[in-house]
Amino acid sequence: MHAKRIFWKLYPSYLIVTLLSLTAVYVISSTAINRFFEQQIEKNLTEQAWLIKEQVTAPMVTREIETLSRSADTLSANSSARITLIFPDGIVAGDSDKASSEMGNHRDRPEIKDALAGHVGQSLRYSNTLKKNMMYVAVPVWVEGRVIGVVRTSMPMTDMDQLIDSVQHRITFGGLIILFLAAVLSLIVSRRISRPLERIKEGAKRFADGDFSCRLHTIGSTEITSLAETMNQMAEQLEDRLQTVIKEKNQREAVLSSMVEGVLAVDTDGHIISLNKAAARFFQVIQPETAKGRSIEEVFRNVKLQKFIGSVLKGQETLECELTVQHNEIYHLQTRGTNLLGVQGKRIGAVVVFNDVSRLRRLENLRSDFVANVSHELKTPITSIKGFIETLLDGAMNDPVEADRFLKIVAKHADRLNAIIDDLLMLSRLEQGGKEEMEMQQAGLAGLMSSAVEVCAHRAEKKEITIQVECPDNLSANVNPPLIEQALINLIGNAVKYSAEGKTVTVRADREPDGINLSVTDQGYGIASEHLERLFERFYRVDKGRSRQEGGTGLGLAIVKHIAQAHGGTVSVKSTFGKGSTFSVFLPAS
């Protein structure tokens, strides 16, 4: 139901009250005036009747009808009242307006009955004789203790009615003027009350819309002014509290957004209260801001997560589990769920925290692979050495030719073991140390490249591979020369190793805006894309049989990676299968 404006409640109320008051005044005053005139007429008629009684007592005793009739006419001439003289038996002895012979018996008239009973009778009724409303007053005529007749005076009410009508017309006209003035005054008063309240209402609406800059300036009664001041104080307090809430909300959202852990909060019905960016990323929720208020089943398609949240909502204890989510990449999430409590300590939902342990799982896998690989790499030469030694002990050492061949194989595998151990030791030193612990010096890169090429030249000549060096003579960098030379030797050696005969290997150094890039490009077999991500892992081999035949330890690229990291740089590889590869080492500017 539509509520009325306060003006339309006040203004009609004032008019109705005024109208009712004027109506009451009109009714009361009309009744009082009418009663007043009636009382005056009654009094006047009574006084006249008592005076006439003294004059007609003697003819009444002797029942002189003619005398009484003349007396009625004579007395009526000096008075405005009609005079009627009546005997106790109701016969009219004389009347000032009509012949007594034409008038009926009056014994049954109310005022006559009262007078015959010894009282002053009074009656107001319609006269059939005169066809008018008349007021009658009858007084008894006493002689020696008995009523011998009645003197009745009467007067038509026409004049009084006209007078009362005139007075009522004046009262009505005055009431209309008062009503008009009251309407104008009520309009002014209603507007003076409603306008400040309307301004307060408009101000309150602006406060509700979030505009706390406006202030209410209202002139009116003390109550309205106090209300406006209270509203202004309320606006100031609301603005302060709103700013505090917004600040806290922004801080909370900033904290949640910057957390690497995913955070999900749901209410007791399983509808989302909050979802940070990390959790949205884990489960590929494209628009996390639209997830608020939606159900878990609608946003997350992970059945295990839905069951886990359901268990948290049903129980009272903290629960944990591990989820594996696979989209573009695989996430291993350590998930922890607990009750979400409100201010009063009442449970209002559940909060779930997702800790990404994918890197830890990858490291565990790498460690497992490393242990398996290093065990395999060490076991192969050890097994060979043990086998040939057992063969020698079984009698082969007595054959000089076979003994010499077996001992050379043992020596070869021992050298391989030594190379693996040396590479592992180098990796260990690189991991334990850092750029701060290395001896850095400004060195020319052209000289380091030439030295590395010379180390690999013998093997390149065997395969008729040409090694080209492209480096400005004045290009230098603040590096550890032996390590950079070792990294280049490993890269050039691999390029020569995996290139076909007669190909070209290019070694170049380029200055870039934020550092120096060293690259080695071959025209070998290339590397399939699925191997590129793991090339720099320890003992990772694309072609394990071929790598071992070439005498590699499987640690060369891992050493290059750690040398680059020790200089604060990075390594990368670009390769097209069947066309060749480019390995790069980026050294940032000092």
Q: Report DSSP state, residue 271.
A: B
pLDDT for 547:
46
pLDDT for 401:
77
CA distance 536 to 491: 12
pLDDT for 6:
62
Closest CA to 477 of 513, 502, 446, 507: 446
CA distance 570 to 472: 22
pLDDT for 140:
92
Q: Report DSSP state, residue 525.
A: -
CATH numeric code, 443-588? 3.30.565.10
Question: Do the Cβ atoms of 468 and 431 come closer than 8 Å?
Answer: no
Question: Do the Cβ atoms of 361 and 368 come closer than 8 Å?
Answer: no
User: Could you state, in order of their start, the residue ranges of all structural domains in the chain?
Assistant: 6-163, 210-255, 259-356, 362-429, 443-588
360-386 tens-digit pLDDT:
777 666 666 555 556 655 666 777 777
pLDDT for 221:
67
Q: Which fold does the domain 6-163 belong to in CATH?
A: Beta-Lactamase (3.30.450)
The answer to whether the pTM exceeds 0.85 is: no
pLDDT for 7:
64
The two domains 362-429 and 443-588 share their CATH topology (first three levels equal): no
List the helix and strand counts (H, then E) for the chain: 15, 17
CA distance 218 to 201: 12
CA distance 386 to 392: 10
CATH numeric code, 259-356? 3.30.450.20
CATH numeric code, 362-429? 1.10.287.130
Mean pLDDT, consecutive 10-residue stretches, the chain (590 aa), reads: 61 78 82 82 86 84 81 78 87 82 83 87 79 86 87 82 78 83 78 73 75 69 74 80 81 72 86 84 78 83 85 85 80 85 80 83 66 60 73 74 76 68 60 60 86 85 88 85 82 86 89 88 82 71 52 69 82 85 86
* Two tokens, residue 132: 């008018």
Q: What percent of the chain has pLDDT over 90?
A: 1
CA distance 159 to 465: 149
Give Cα 340 to chain centroid, integer Å.
20
pLDDT for 546:
46
